[in-house]
Structure 1
Amino acid sequence: MSLDLTPRPGASDRRDRIAQHARIELAMLLRNGEQLLLAFVIPVGLLVGGMLFGDRFGLDRTTFPASVMALAVWSSSFTSLAINTAFERRYGVLERLAATPLTRGDLIAGKAQATITITAVQVLALTLLALALGWRPNPPPMVSLVTWPLVVLAAFAFACLGLVLAGRLEATVVLGLANLVYLVGAAGGGLVVPLSSYQDAVRPVLALLPTAALGEALRGWATGQFTWWAYPVLGAWCLVLLFVARKAFRWTS
């Protein structure tokens, strides 16, 4: 039997390309100290402080851990991804990837897949820590079943938003802007602070934001309620931001 050494150039299957790219992205995220700070250290610090001393500030021990989980999803899916991708673009990493079979859609899907994976690890770690600190949510199984897919939708929408910024602006601009948007979304976007704490006039507007949809969905889950309106809000944001990211993203500076 002869050995066939005939070259067969060609791209691998699209699902394999995306999976391999997601694996590399995940490994890079785990090696980056700044990303780990946003992903784990800050949420863990807030969770521990809130569960131990939150009673002094009127924090609800049932919903506060859910708010911290929403913040963790926001930090990793948007801020970390935007900054990391912007500097990859600045230093020519993405320009080299453009020479591979990866398309814009593959790049977005791979990064989003890696982000969703790290987000799942974050949420699991925060859940276990909160339970150890005395958190006792009691959601019905059906509420859990229909709520947790919203976290995936939110992470995907945030990732697309981060890629829009990273794909159009200079890295230093993205660094400042992403951190600013992170703080605004956390403090004033309904992510950590419940919508019930805002004035009646602004609640309908805030409810249309993906940050508020995620925050309210997780807080509702913690109290056994299903926030049905979060699905159309996050679904619409996913479609719009995916379209914009695919059109606006540039491989080079």
Structure 2
Amino acid sequence: MSQTQSPFLPSLNGAQRPATTTARILAQGRYETITMLRNGEQLVLAIIMPLMALFALRFTPLLDGLPGTRIDIAVPGVLALCTLSTAFTGQGISTGFDRRYGVLRFLSTTPLGRAGLISGKVIAVLSVLVLQTVVVSAIGLILGWAPALGGLLLAVPLLVLGAAAFTSLGLLVAGTVRPEATLALTNLLWIILGALGGIVVPPGRLPGLLGEVAPFLPSGALGDALRAALQHGAVDLTAVIVLLLWTAVAGVLAVKWFKWN
């Protein structure tokens, strides 16, 4: 009787070959994505809270007096908030609990390896971010959003860069802070950066020192970059440089200090 052949593990001279590195990473990315979407708290942070912010900014006078309509200013900021929610808070919480229960230590010793595990998390972040972008953009269009057409292409690499910066920060927190404190710290920083970090409310509308500091935070930089792209079809070079610096510094520190157990 011939041996049953798995479609995912093709045979080599009658024997099954192990899954390729790419297949392992994609499988881990799929698992991470499903886990994030099934988690009620993360789903609230990823979808519900950004949509609540979008409606609040659209139907309150908070953004009045700034160049552009309320909805045109609001949508880029809410997309930036989605990135913060998924890449920083969501990934930080997920990684923190995986570390607490020994999942990271176990998976890092499997053929997936540490690089494969991190790659899977990046895939999960980008997958959820795509879903968030589609939902927020659709609601924004219904509410009258009219983005600059050229800015739509610019927004894609900016969202990826923002995701890289916040994922690096999320892994830095989850890999260095006690796992029990990760949940509280990531949620606290989400509130602070979301409300006062220039992400949904432009730095120019923030009072005093906050307005001066916010453009140099990853939240303010991503918000400014997306507003420039989607409102005016322009590149905010300063904001891009700030995001690149945050990504590089947080990434190096996360690699150096990350604790797998």
Quick check: TM above 0.5?
yes
- 1:46 aligned to which of 47, 53, 59: 53
Letter in 2 for 1:223: Q
Q: TM-score, normalised by structure 2?
A: 0.84
Q: Is the counterpart of residue 233 in structure 1 residue 233 in structure 2?
A: no
The 3 A distance-change label for structure 1 pair 156 and 94 is: same
- d(CA) in 2 for partners of 1:7, 1:140: 49
Contact 2:108 2:117 in 1 (8 A): no
> What is the deviation of 1:46?
2.1
The 3 A distance-change label for structure 1 pair 188 and 235 is: same
Structure 1: gaps spanning 5 or more residues: none
- d(CA) in 2 for partners of 1:20, 1:239: 27
- d(CA) in 2 for partners of 1:22, 1:120: 14
The 3 A distance-change label for structure 1 pair 218 and 56 is: closer
Q: Is the counterpart of residue 58 in structure 1 residue 64 in structure 2?
A: yes
Letter in 1 for 2:152: S
Contact 2:152 2:230 in 1 (8 A): no
Q: Secondary structure at the match of 1:47?
A: helix
> What is the deviation of 1:199?
5.3
Q: Is the counterpart of residue 118 in structure 1 residue 124 in structure 2?
A: no
> What is the deviation of 1:221?
2.3
Contact 2:63 2:201 in 1 (8 A): no
- 1:14 aligned to which of 8, 21, 27: 21
* Residue of structure 2 in register with 1:83 after alignment: 93
> What is the deviation of 1:56?
7.6
**Matching of residues 121-132 of structure 1 within 5 Å:** 121-132=131-142
- d(CA) in 2 for partners of 1:107, 1:157: 18
Contact 2:36 2:43 in 1 (8 A): yes
Number of paired residues? 246
The 3 A distance-change label for structure 1 pair 237 and 68 is: same
Q: CA RMSD in A?
A: 2.4
Letter in 1 for 2:222: L
- d(CA) in 2 for partners of 1:31, 1:20: 17
Q: Is the counterpart of residue 181 in structure 1 residue 189 in structure 2?
A: yes
The 3 A distance-change label for structure 1 pair 242 and 15 is: farther
> What is the deviation of 1:89?
1.2
The 3 A distance-change label for structure 1 pair 240 and 104 is: farther
Q: Is the counterpart of residue 27 in structure 1 residue 20 in structure 2?
A: no
The 3 A distance-change label for structure 1 pair 45 and 202 is: closer
Contact 1:185 1:211 in 2 (8 A): yes
Q: Is the counterpart of residue 242 in structure 1 residue 247 in structure 2?
A: no
- d(CA) in 2 for partners of 1:70, 1:115: 13
Provide runs of 4+ in structure 1 moved above 4 Å.
2-8, 199-204
Higher helix share: 2
Deviations 1:109-154 (A, max 9, x none): 22122101101110111000111122223x142x332332011011
Instruction: Give identity over the alignment, percent.
Output: 37
Contact 1:147 1:226 in 2 (8 A): no
Q: Secondary structure at the match of 2:99?
A: helix
* Residue of structure 2 in register with 1:136 after alignment: 146
Contact 1:105 1:246 in 2 (8 A): no
- d(CA) in 1 for partners of 2:245, 2:29: 24
Contact 2:199 2:223 in 1 (8 A): yes
* Residue of structure 1 in register with 2:116 after alignment: 106
> What is the deviation of 1:57?
7.1
**Matching of residues 136-175 of structure 1 within 5 Å:** 136-137=146-147, 139-141=148-150, 143-175=151-183
Contact 1:108 1:160 in 2 (8 A): no
Contact 2:225 2:240 in 1 (8 A): no
